[in-house]
Amino acid sequence: MVAGCASGAPGAPAPSTEVFARRGVAPNARTRIAKVMPPFAPRKLREMREQLVPLHERTGPPKPGEWRADHPESGQSFDEYLASRPTAPSAARRTLVVQPLGVVDETRGRILVLVGEALTAYFGLPTRVEAALDLGKPPREARRRVAQTSQLLSGWILRDVLEPRLPPDAAALLGFTTEDLWPGEGWNFVFGEASLAKRVGVWSLHRYGDPTIDPGAFRQTLRRAVKVALHESGHMFSLEHCTAFRCVQAGINSLEEEDASPLWPCPDCLAKIAWVTSTDPKARLGAMADFCRRADLPPEAHHFERDLAALG
């Protein structure tokens, strides 16, 4: 099943979500864990969460037109996530693979490289950007025109383009396109869409502005691109939309809502990411602070530094 993050017709049903396989801890490992508890053990992550919760802003009632107003969702706690047996990296599948779809110009190529760095910092997994893939002529049902905008059907990309090309080492395969996307009947467009079980997702830069205008425009497009790439990759590890806090994993219904949303995860989603990737959450915060400083995103760098300092 898929999770979509889009602007759609008011009241349109959100794509359904479903979560699948995750390896568990072998019973005979319990003694070792009790002696040396890793930072990604659930007990440690619950403690981390409690330290960070006072620093994070909880969501209020949604405003008309926002994602939660049009698509009521119950959210997903850390313990619900653990119980859902989410899709996870494995010994063989530990690389995040980014697949450009179609021609990417030099400026947007720079954004793609930076997004790859952000993915590695956020998930603690290596990222590889593949050579651009020519989509050829999509089938008639996979393309439509709305006003002056040509759109590609995101489900066609997931099902027919990415799934058959999933590399054997890919923890997730994330398609990148500069074309506009739409996920199906009743929707206007989608910023990105991902499967919670098939390890594939896609996101578009089409609505994120022209990064060639000046450094400020580049930074704005980069910020938006990093947000959607982290969000869709979170879906590929079975994170559902966050409803408890202002969080990068929250559903987005418009560009205005995108710009108002944060680039960072809430305490619940940070715990989920650390657990599913078996990494130290403090390392994730530190790596993201470093990335945001290099990428000239000072407010985001400050936030990650603040959370890291709170954990000691």
Q: What is the residue-wise DSSP string for 254-278?
A: SHHHHHHS-SSPPHHHHHHHHHHHT
Confidence of residue 185 (pLDDT cuts 50, 70, 90): confident
Q: Which of 19-33, 81-95, 208-222, 246-260 has the lowest mean pLDDT?
A: 19-33
Q: Which two tokens stand for residue 282?
A: 């403090």
Q: Across residues 7-33, what is the average pLDDT?
A: 36
Residue 33 has pLDDT above 60, yes or no: no
Domain membership flag for residue 179: yes
What values do phi and psi take at 8, rounded to 5? -140, 180
Q: Which two tokens stand for residue 182?
A: 């739409």
What values do phi and psi take at 191, rounded to 5? -70, -35
Residue 67 has pLDDT above 80, yes or no: yes
Residue 21 has pLDDT above 80, yes or no: no
Say if CB 94 and CB 169 are below 8 A apart: yes
Q: Which of 7-11, 65-69, 232-236, 285-289 has the lowest mean pLDDT?
A: 7-11
Say if CB 187 and CB 253 are below 8 A apart: no
What distance in Å separates the CA atoms of residue 147 and residue 270, rounded to the nearest whole number? 40
Say if CB 89 and CB 165 are below 8 A apart: no
Domain membership flag for residue 197: yes
Q: In the chain, helix, strand, coil percent, each to 5?
A: 40, 15, 40
Quick: pLDDT tens for 221-270.
999 999 999 999 999 999 999 999 999 999 999 999 999 999 999 999 99
Q: Across residues 166-194, what is the average pLDDT?
A: 93
Q: Output DSSP code: residue 310.
A: H
- Give the per-residue pLDDT at 3: 55
Q: Which two tokens stand for residue 275?
A: 């657990």
- Give the per-residue pLDDT at 28: 42
Range among 3-7, 32-36, 248-252 with highest mean pLDDT value: 248-252
- Give the per-residue pLDDT at 212: 96
What distance in Å separates the CA atoms of residue 221 and residue 232, rounded to the nearest whole number? 17
Secondary structure tally for the chain: helices H, strands E: 11, 9
Active-site annotation holds for 232:
yes
Q: Choosing from 18, 185, 193, 232, which is the catalytic residue?
A: 232
- Give the per-residue pLDDT at 147: 85
User: Containing domain of residue 73, as a range?
Assistant: 2-7+41-310
Our count of domains for the chain comes to: 1
Task: Calculate the CA 145 to chain-centre distance.
Answer: 27
Domain membership flag for residue 58: yes
Domain membership flag for residue 240: yes
Q: Which two tokens stand for residue 287?
A: 């790596």
The DSSP bridge partners found for residue 143 are: 152
Residue 174 has pLDDT above 80, yes or no: yes
Domain membership flag for residue 15: no
SS3 189: strand
The DSSP bridge partners found for residue 100 are: 176
Domain membership flag for residue 118: yes
Domain membership flag for residue 16: no
Confidence of residue 186 (pLDDT cuts 50, 70, 90): confident
Domain membership flag for residue 35: no
> Any idea what the CATH number is for the domain that residue 55 is in?
3.40.390.10
- Give the per-residue pLDDT at 193: 93
Q: Which two tokens stand for residue 122?
A: 């956020």
End-to-end Cα distance, the chain: 39
Q: Which two tokens stand for residue 136?
A: 């050829």
